[in-house]
Amino acid sequence: MKQQSPQTMAPDHPFLTVAIAMVVLLGLVLSATRPPGVFEDGAGTENTAERSEADEERLPATGEPDQLTVVSPDALPGIEETEIDHDGGADVTAAYPNIPNAAPLSDFLDRTLTAQVNAFEAANPGARSFVGEWGITAAAEGIVGVRTTTTETDSEETREGHSTHWYETGDGTVNGSSHLLAGQAELAELNDLVREAVADTGADPSALHPISALYDSVGFNPDGDLVVEFDSGQVAPTDVGRVHAVIDRDEAEALLSEFGLRVREAATTGTREFTVAEAPEADKDGSGAAAPGVLAPRDDSVDCADPDTKCVALTYDDGPGGRTPELLDALAEYDAHATFFVTGHPVMEHPWVVRRTYAEGHELANHTLSHPNLAEIGSGAARSDLETTQALVFRETGYTMDLMRPPYGSTNGQVAEITAELGLAQILWSVDTNDWRDRKANVVRKRALKGASEGAIILMHDIHDTTIDASIDIIRELDARGYTMVTVSQLLGTTVPGETYVDGVPEPPETEGSEESEENSEEGAVNDAG
Ligand code: ZN
């Protein structure tokens, strides 16, 4: 038999090389675990010869079973480290790797790390120090995996966090960890497996939701088992430390995307030397809305412009409150969505409720940090108040809010200017339940139902027991009356930052030039008859 050298096969038949390596590895495992005699059939000698040659070509990946694979940076010739520029209040030392011919990766890491530092400072008035370190978790098969570890210290405590990004050397795309999963359903399935796996570690299962902000450090150990890790304080009290789950290779396999399978291949391959041959042409950012776990506050299956769909927007301010989860349960029961204008201090108190709200398709919107009258405080104070809440929600969910509601509905030209700069549209309301003043569930219920009409924005506060009690009835009744309860962004469509909106009442139908659309729309005809 003429032995084909794996070396010459490698460029054209990577999977064959891998298959051979797998057989060899399996052989190693079997010869180590099976009783002697199994291989005493004459083929053993040939096996050994082939094994040693394949071993030379393919090194085993290295690392601990409960950690992501570790690749020595020495295996990437020319790799350098760059520190981010920072001139804020906290003491910041954060660096990322610069790999020759991988500029899009460096640019992405620079932007991401800078955004993390800024959000840390904005969200923590007591921010003291931020340290960002990095490691390589894969460098093979056209993939580079970079795992960053951040250590944040504020006046309260020190937290360690991780995130892992995956770079495609061929086209310059940087993907977040949730891209390893085939889709939202697979991420949700992984979330269920992880809930079981971390049950005994001190983690709170109710803190786990299938969103990319939680699943931002996912990779593989050297055996190809899927490793998921969470930041300290993210799903368990901070003193529990790093919470992680290892999902068996076979169990995880069906959940992976094509890209995830390629990453697994790369992360289970040892690296002797890895170079990126050529820089890609364009800078691409893989973190698009299509990534599993990145949720939009709009549901494509609902069209409020459809005359048969009666949309109404329930909005809740000043929360989250202790009973907000009950409200979320009620909304889920009727497949209804709402908008939560959250305030910074309650967000700090109930971060897991904020995460759940996002994970269940509701809209999060900014209602300031400390509920000031924005029109009466200086523009610097108003801006930083809004920015802090923006950062708090971003850190919890990865979501950048694009709506805000000024406390007391108080706004002016200066507030318009600031919200325009921050990318926030101002949302007022068309129905005021005055639920903060009249703490009677029956009164709140009546006002909300009386005011409800197509396009209405109804104002309530989820920090009052009476409002929660009323809402459970309101949601059931609106559903019975044929309303579709939607987020404000769903109701209004695209909004303009800085502009003020009070409702989403549909524009009156055009009398001219609409013949064509009327002819083509059966629904329109039915509606006219009613
Ligand atoms: Zn308020």
Q: How far is the CA of 504 from the centre of ligand 1 (A)?
A: 21
**Given this model, what pLDDT does residue 65 score?**
95
**Given this model, what pLDDT does residue 88 score?**
79
Residues with Cβ < 8 Å from 380, sequence gap 6 or more?
Answer: none
Q: How far is the CA of 373 from the centre of ligand 1 (A)?
A: 10
Strands (E), 190-277: 218-220, 226-230, 243-247
**Given this model, what pLDDT does residue 125 score?**
83
**Given this model, what pLDDT does residue 279 score?**
75
Catalytic residue annotation: 317, 461
Q: How far is the CA of 467 from the centre of ligand 1 (A)?
A: 14
DSSP string for 99-165: -TT-HHHHHHHHHHHHHHHHHHHHH-TT--EEEEEEEEEEEETTEEEEEEEEEEE-SS-EEEEEEEE
- Indicate the pTM of the whole model: 0.83
pLDDT in tens, the chain (530 residues): 333 333 333 333 444 444 444 444 444 444 333 333 333 333 333 344 444 444 556 789 999 999 999 999 999 999 999 999 988 789 999 999 999 999 999 999 999 999 999 999 999 889 999 999 999 999 999 999 999 999 999 998 999 999 999 999 999 999 999 999 999 999 999 999 999 999 888 899 989 999 999 999 999 999 999 999 999 999 999 888 889 999 999 999 999 999 999 999 999 999 889 999 887 776 555 444 479 999 999 999 999 999 999 999 999 999 999 999 999 999 999 999 999 999 999 999 999 999 999 999 999 999 999 999 999 999 999 999 999 999 999 999 999 999 999 999 999 999 999 999 999 999 999 999 999 999 999 999 999 999 999 999 999 999 999 999 999 999 999 999 999 999 999 999 999 999 999 999 977 666 554 444 333 333 333 333 33
Q: How far is the CA of 422 from the centre of ligand 1 (A)?
A: 19
Q: Which DSSP category does 66 fall into?
A: T
Q: How far is the CA of 408 from the centre of ligand 1 (A)?
A: 6
Q: How far is the CA of 352 from the centre of ligand 1 (A)?
A: 21
**Given this model, what pLDDT does residue 510 score?**
62
**Given this model, what pLDDT does residue 250 score?**
97
**Given this model, what pLDDT does residue 36 score?**
34
- Report cis status (omega within 30 of 0) of the bond before 320: yes
Q: Are 285 and 318 in contact (CB under 8 A)?
A: no
CA distance 454 to 304: 9
**Given this model, what pLDDT does residue 511 score?**
59
Extents of the domains making up the chain: 73-267, 310-507+515-529
Q: How far is the CA of 415 from the centre of ligand 1 (A)?
A: 16
**Given this model, what pLDDT does residue 242 score?**
86
Q: Are 445 and 473 in contact (CB under 8 A)?
A: yes
Q: Are 433 and 460 in contact (CB under 8 A)?
A: yes
Q: How far is the CA of 366 from the centre of ligand 1 (A)?
A: 10
Q: How far is the CA of 347 from the centre of ligand 1 (A)?
A: 13
Residues with Cβ < 8 Å from 288, sequence gap 6 or more?
Answer: 294
Angle between the N-to-C axes of helices 351-359 and 324-333, in degrees from 0 to 180, rounded to the nearest 10: 10
H-state helical runs in 289-341: 324-333
CATH H-level, domain 310-507+515-529: superfamily: Glycoside hydrolase/deacetylase (3.20.20.370)
Q: How far is the CA of 348 from the centre of ligand 1 (A)?
A: 16
**Given this model, what pLDDT does residue 394 score?**
96
CA distance 246 to 66: 6
How large is the C-alpha radius of gyration of the chain?
27
Q: How far is the CA of 405 from the centre of ligand 1 (A)?
A: 8
**Given this model, what pLDDT does residue 284 score?**
55
CA distance 338 to 472: 13
Q: How far is the CA of 317 from the centre of ligand 1 (A)?
A: 5
